[in-house]
Amino acid sequence: MNSIVAIELGTNAVRIFAFDLMGNIIGFAKGHYPTFHEGPDNSEQDPEQVFITMLYVLKNLLNDTLYPQKCVVGCICFSGSMHSLLTVDKDGVPLGNVITWADNRGKETAVELKESELGRTIYEATGTPIHPMSSMVKIAWLRNNDPDRFKKTSKYLPVKSYILQQLTGSCIIDYSIASATGLMNIHSLTWDDTALEFAGISAGKLPQLVPVFYSEAKLKKEYQKALRLQPDVKIIIGSSDGCLATLGAGVWEEGKATITIEDSGAFRVIGDKIIKDHNKQIFNYLLTKEHIVSGGPTNSGGVIFEWFTKRFGDFKKAFDIDHSMGNLIREAAEVTVGSDGLLFLPYLLGERAPIWNANAKGCYFGINIRHERKHFIRATIEGILYEMYSIGKTLENHRAIDSLSVNGSFASIPFCTQIIADIFNKPVSTVSHGDTIGAGAFLLSATEMGMYKNLREASNTIKMHQIFLPNANDHAIYRQYFTVFESLIEKIGGEFDAISNLQNLK
């Protein structure tokens, strides 16, 4: 064995990395799958399309890159996005599409529960904020709005469990993904009876809970043959994308936090204790029983800038979104700090932390006759980062933070990383490798194989690449704009509900 493969099942794409045993990337491949938005609150994906895309990308990586290098794959580790839900029948056949984290159809159920004492009890037991993103709320919504599907469902699975069941026949879920369902008690590591009762299901409707190092599932013979993998290739269940991104960022010390901006985004810290938040805004998800990743997620990450690019970017040829984004970034750099008075509220998919309002909508504010396209580009980027700053301020109520590590798509764009440093007024570092989720999966695999004593030792091997220092003058300007940003959100909460109701009229 001389290579480790990390499969990252993201929201809009599968990314597969191959590492040598020193942690160097020796191969990479990526494939996209679409998300369907039948209504403004709907976000679904075809599970078969996700599975076939994953197989296609893996096979190409093996045949085109690894096998020509005489690589032998010893281990495959999985990462999955959180909060997805798929219903399957007794034979494991999907009864519909995957409902993703961005789906807001359960928002009324979530609002009612969040305001109750029952909601507080479930939040404190599970660590998952009460929101339509959670599997618990999605299942309750299905019970009330799609009783036929609810009745036929044999198992409720996140998409990562479905992929693993297809590959191995085992119906399993790791503690990390499970702790983001809103159904697992993070203190006892069992499915929580109160949450199950609210959802209206029994524990038998859910996969078997296992640790993130679990490797007993075996690849089916047909996939061993199709992929030309050895029968003893180790399949490690792995963790959630957020927890692996934190592990792969190499930030474990007090006073440090990570910012991830990929399709969505999050602000996270890692520790050995749960952060108790009386406002029920902060999540506490398990990496392992001893390591808890706490923070706040945003719907308004890279998917928002991708939306802007697709609608308003210049495409010289099909599928050149990365090239078009690069051109937009260069155009945005022509505009001064604060976009000459243009603000953007980035709530195209509702919002999670810190406002937890599924009805929130996007808005450009302050438009005047001088504004051009380049102002809207920069305002879109700044709006995404103001939202991240809001989450960071919430977390700083519980833990002092002196510096940040940025990863994900924005980390590869110095223009965006410098804005983060200026808005937060903190030094910001990026890591030497390109993808912290893949790196986290490698570190977890290497630890399971005995190459590191524990995950902390593994994470300490991560090297920082570049440090961005804040500009005090730019921070002062951003503070003024952020004050308006916060005030706007507070004042138009009622209008978010009103416009959402109008958009959902049939």
Q: What is the pLDDT of residues 414-448, one digit of tens each?
A: 999 999 999 999 999 998 776 889 999 999 999 99
Q: Tens digits of per-residue pLDDT, 292-342?
A: 999 999 999 888 998 999 899 887 766 677 788 889 999 999 999 999 999
Query: Would you say residue 43 has pLDDT above 70?
Result: yes
Domain 250-301+338-365+379-505 has CATH 3.30.420.40: yes
Query: Would you say residue 114 has pLDDT above 70?
Result: yes
Averaged pLDDT, 64-70: 95
Q: Which residue has the higher pLDDT, 405 or 434?
A: 405
Averaged pLDDT, 131-139: 96
Averaged pLDDT, 364-384: 97
Query: Would you say residue 30 has pLDDT above 80?
Result: yes
The confidence band for 11, taking pLDDT boundaries of 50, 70 and 90, is confident
Reported pTM: 0.91
Q: What is the mean pLDDT of the chain?
A: 94
Judge whether 14 and 53 are in contact, CB under 8 Å. Answer: yes
Q: Report the pLDDT value the prediction gives residue 94, as an integer from 0 to 100.
A: 98
Judge whether 14 and 7 are in contact, CB under 8 Å. Answer: yes
Q: Tens digits of per-residue pLDDT, 89-101?
A: 999 999 999 999 9
Q: Report the pLDDT value the prediction gives residue 1, as an integer from 0 to 100.
A: 61
Phi-psi region of 317 (alpha: psi -120 to 50; beta: other; left: phi over 0): beta
The confidence band for 366, taking pLDDT boundaries of 50, 70 and 90, is very high
CA pair distance 485, 477, nearest whole angstrom: 13
Q: Respond yes or no on whether the N-terminal peptide bond of residue 354 is cis (omega within 30° of 0).
A: yes
CA pair distance 146, 455, nearest whole angstrom: 42
DSSP secondary structure string for all residues of 243-267? HHHHHHTT--STEEEEEEESSSEEE
What are the extents of the domains in the chain? 2-232, 250-301+338-365+379-505
Long-range contacts of the stretch 493-497 (C-beta < 8 A, 24+): 493/357, 496/347, 496/357, 496/359, 496/360, 496/361, 497/359
Look at the domain 2-232 and name its fold: Nucleotidyltransferase; domain 5 (3.30.420)
Phi, psi of 65 (to 5 degrees): -120, -55
Judge whether 468 and 421 are in contact, CB under 8 Å. Answer: yes
Q: Which residues sit opposite 78 in a β-bridge?
A: 7
The confidence band for 506, taking pLDDT boundaries of 50, 70 and 90, is low
Judge whether 407 and 259 are in contact, CB under 8 Å. Answer: yes
Chain centre to alpha carbon of residue 60 = 25
Q: Tens digits of per-residue pLDDT, 230-258?
A: 999 999 999 999 999 999 998 888 899 99
Query: Would you say residue 141 has pLDDT above 90?
Result: yes
For residue 345, the surrounding DSSP H or E stretch is: strand 343-345
Q: Report the pLDDT value the prediction gives residue 324, as an integer from 0 to 100.
A: 85
